Amino acid sequence: MDMELLQQILVAAIKTGTPLLLVALGELICEKSGVLNLGQEGMMLMGAMAGFAGAYFTGNLALGLLLAVIAGMLMAGIFGLLSLNLNTNQVATGLALTIFGTGLSAFLGASLVGSTINGFKAISIPLLSNIPMLGALLFQHDILVYGSFALVAITWWVVNKTRAGLTLRAVGENPYSANALGIKVIKVRYIAVLFGGAMAGLAGAYMSLSYTPMWMENMTAGRGWIALSLVVFASWRVGYLMVGAYLFGAASILHLVMQGIGFTISPNLLAMMPYVATIVVMVMISANPIRQKLAAPMSLAKPFDARRH
Amino acid sequence: MLKTQARLESSKLMSWLSPLIAIVLTMLVSSVMFWALDINPATAFKVFIIDPLSDGYNLGELMVKTTPLLLCATGLALCYKANIWNIGAEGQLLVGALVGSYFALQANEQSGYLWLLVTLAAGALAGMIWAAIPTLLHQLFHTNLILTTIMLNYIGLYLLLWGVHGPLIDPDGFGFPESAIFADSVLLPTIMEDGRASISILLAVVFAIGSGIILYRTLPGFQLRVFGSDQPAARYAGYSSKFIVWSVMLSAGALAGFAGVAEVTGPIGQLIPQVSPGYGYAAIIVAYLGRLNPFGIIFAAFFMGTLYMGSDLAQIELGMPTAITGLFQGVLLFFLLACDFLIHYKIVWQPSAGVAQPSSSSAKQGAA
pLDDT, tens digit, 9 for 90 and up, residues B141-188: 989 999 999 999 999 999 999 999 999 999 988 889 999 999 999 999
Q: Which residues in chain B touch residue A269, judged by CB atoms under 8 angstroms apart?
A: 158-159, 162
A102 and B CB contact within 8 Å: yes
Secondary structure class of B58 (helix, strand, coil): helix
Q: Which residues in chain A touch residue B148, judged by CB atoms under 8 angstroms apart?
A: 279, 282
Model pLDDT, residue A1:
55
The CA-based dihedral angle spanning residues B316, B317, B321, B323, taken in that order and rounded to the nearest 10 degrees: -90
Is B221's pLDDT higher than 90?
Answer: yes
B347 vs chain A: nearest CA distance in angstroms?
Answer: 12
A163 and B CB contact within 8 Å: no
Q: Which long-range contacts (CB under 8 A, 24 or more apart) does B37-42 make?
A: B37/B320, B39/B318, B39/B320
Strands (E) in chain A, as ranges, are 123-124, 140-141
Is A162's pLDDT higher than 80?
Answer: yes
Between CA B107 and CA B119 the distance in angstroms is: 9
Q: Which residues in chain A touch residue B288, judged by CB atoms under 8 angstroms apart?
A: 92
Model pLDDT, residue A309:
52
B110 vs chain A: nearest CA distance in angstroms?
Answer: 34
Q: How far is CA B298 from CA B139, B242, B278, in A?
A: 31, 29, 18
- Rounded to the nearest 10 degrees, the angle between the axes of helix B200-217 and helix B219-229 is 80
Between CA B271 and CA B261 the distance in angstroms is: 10
Q: Which residues in chain B touch residue A229, judged by CB atoms under 8 angstroms apart?
A: 144, 147, 151
**What is the average per-residue pLDDT within A176-193?**
95
Q: Which residues in chain A touch residue B341, judged by CB atoms under 8 angstroms apart?
A: 86-88
CA within 13 Å, CB half, A116: 1
CB contact under 8 A, A282 and B148: yes
**B3 sits in which H/E element:** strand B2-6
Is A118's pLDDT higher than 70?
Answer: yes
Q: Which residues in chain B touch residue A225, judged by CB atoms under 8 angstroms apart?
A: 147, 150-151
A228 and B CB contact within 8 Å: yes
Candidates B136, B291, B327: best to mutate against A (most CBs of A within 10 A) is B327
Model pLDDT, residue A285:
83
Is A21's pLDDT higher than 50?
Answer: yes
The residue count of chain A comes to 309
CB contact under 8 A, B158 and A269: yes
**What is the average per-residue pLDDT within A174-199?**
96
User: Nearest by CB to B326, which of A93, A102, A226?
Assistant: A102
The chain A residue lying nearest B280, using CA atoms, is A99
A40 and B CB contact within 8 Å: no
Model pLDDT, residue B365:
42
With CA atoms as reference, report the closest residue to B148 among A163, A278, A206, A24: A278
The chain B residue lying nearest A271, using CA atoms, is B158
**What is the average per-residue pLDDT within B98-113?**
91
Q: How many CB atoms lie within 10 A of CB B52?
A: 23
Give the amino acid at A193: V
The CA-based dihedral angle spanning residues B255, B258, B260, B261, taken in that order and rounded to the nearest 10 degrees: 180
Is A115's pLDDT higher than 60?
Answer: yes
The chain B residue lying nearest A223, using CA atoms, is B151
Please report the DSSP string for B81-111 in residue order: HTT----THHHHHHHHHHHHHHHHHT--TT-
B271 with B247: CB under 8 angstroms?
Answer: no
User: Nearest by CB to B334, which of A82, A179, A276?
Assistant: A82
Angle at B28 between CA B25 and CA B29, to 5 degrees: 90
What is the distance, to the nearest Å, from the Cα of residue B104 to the centroid of all Cα atoms in its chain? 25
Model pLDDT, residue A71:
98
Between CA B246 and CA B135 the distance in angstroms is: 7
Between residues B102 and A134, which one has the greater pLDDT? B102
The chain B residue lying nearest A308, using CA atoms, is B6
Give the amino acid at B62: L
Q: How many CB atoms lie within 10 A of CB A204?
A: 36
CB contact under 8 A, A266 and B361: no
* pTM for the full predicted model: 0.91
Beta strands A140-141 and A123-124 are antiparallel
Between CA B324 and CA B333 the distance in angstroms is: 14
Backbone φ and ψ of A140, nearest 5°: -130, 50
DSSP B357: P
CB contact under 8 A, A100 and B143: no
pLDDT, chain B, mean: 89
Secondary structure class of B346 (helix, strand, coil): strand
Confidence grade of residue A308 (pLDDT, cut at 50, 70, 90): low
CB contact under 8 A, B323 and A286: no
Model pLDDT, residue B368:
34
Is A292's pLDDT higher than 90?
Answer: no
CB contact under 8 A, B331 and A271: no
B336 with B18: CB under 8 angstroms?
Answer: yes
Q: Of A229-243, B27-41, B317-331, B341-355, give the lowest mean pLDDT range.
A: B341-355
User: Nearest by CB to A38, which of B146, B165, B365?
Assistant: B146
A24 with A245: CB under 8 angstroms?
Answer: yes
**B359 sits in which H/E element:** none
B306 with B52: CB under 8 angstroms?
Answer: yes
Is A230's pLDDT higher than 50?
Answer: yes
User: Nearest by CB to B154, which of A88, A182, A222?
Assistant: A222
Candidates B81, B169, B292, B337: best to mutate against A (most CBs of A within 10 A) is B337
CA within 13 Å, CB half, A302: 14
Please report the DSSP string for B169-195 in residue order: S-TTSTT-S-PPPPPGGGSPPBSSSSS
A79 with A94: CB under 8 angstroms?
Answer: yes
> CB under 8 Å to B46, separation ≥6 — which residues?
none
Between CA B365 and CA B40 the distance in angstroms is: 44
Q: How far is CA B229 from CA A37, B84, B242, B286, B324, in A?
A: 22, 11, 16, 20, 35
CB contact under 8 A, A186 and B166: no
Model pLDDT, residue B360:
45
DSSP B198: B
Confidence grade of residue B16 (pLDDT, cut at 50, 70, 90): confident
Model pLDDT, residue B352:
61
Model pLDDT, residue B362:
42
- What does the buried/exposed string (b/e) look like for A71-90 if buried means 16 or more CB atoms within 10 Å of the residue's CB? bbbebbebbbbbbbbbbbbb
Confidence grade of residue A243 (pLDDT, cut at 50, 70, 90): very high
A235 and B CB contact within 8 Å: no
**A60 sits in which H/E element:** none
A306 and B CB contact within 8 Å: yes
pLDDT, chain A, mean: 90
With CA atoms as reference, report the closest residue to B262 among B357, B130, B157, B122: B122
Model pLDDT, residue A140:
80
Size of interface A-B (CB pairs under 8 A): 166
Q: Which residues in chain B touch residue A103, judged by CB atoms under 8 angstroms apart?
A: 323-330
Q: Of A51-65, B24-38, B171-185, B349-363, give the lowest mean pLDDT range.
A: B349-363
Angle at A138 between CA A282 and CA A214, to 5 degrees: 70
B360 vs chain A: nearest CA distance in angstroms?
Answer: 8
Each residue's pLDDT tens digit, B55-73 = 888 899 999 999 999 999 9
**B361 sits in which H/E element:** helix B360-364
Q: Which residues in chain B touch residue A216, judged by CB atoms under 8 angstroms apart?
A: none
**pLDDT > 70: what percent of chain A?**
99
**What is the average per-residue pLDDT within B5-26?**
84
With CA atoms as reference, report the closest residue to B329 among B297, B285, B299: B285
A193 with A84: CB under 8 angstroms?
Answer: yes
Is A293's pLDDT higher than 80?
Answer: no
B226 with B234: CB under 8 angstroms?
Answer: yes
Give the amino acid at B105: L
Q: Which residues in chain A touch residue B344, judged by CB atoms under 8 angstroms apart?
A: 87
B82 vs chain A: nearest CA distance in angstroms?
Answer: 15
The chain B residue lying nearest A41, using CA atoms, is B150
DSSP B66: H
Is B306's pLDDT higher than 50?
Answer: yes
Model pLDDT, residue A37:
96
**What is the average per-residue pLDDT within B40-60?**
88
A89 and B CB contact within 8 Å: yes
Each residue's pLDDT tens digit, B109-119 = 888 889 999 99
The chain A residue lying nearest B330, using CA atoms, is A100
A293 and B CB contact within 8 Å: no
Give the amino acid at A244: G
Each residue's pLDDT tens digit, B267-289 = 999 999 999 999 999 999 999 99
Secondary structure class of B135 (helix, strand, coil): helix
Please report the DSSP string for A242-293 in residue order: HHHHHHHHHHHHHHHHHHHHT----HHHHHTHHHHHHHHHHHHHHT-HHHHH
B90 with B280: CB under 8 angstroms?
Answer: yes
A179 and B CB contact within 8 Å: yes
Cβ neighbourhood burial of B358 (10 Å; 0-12, 13-18, 19+)? exposed
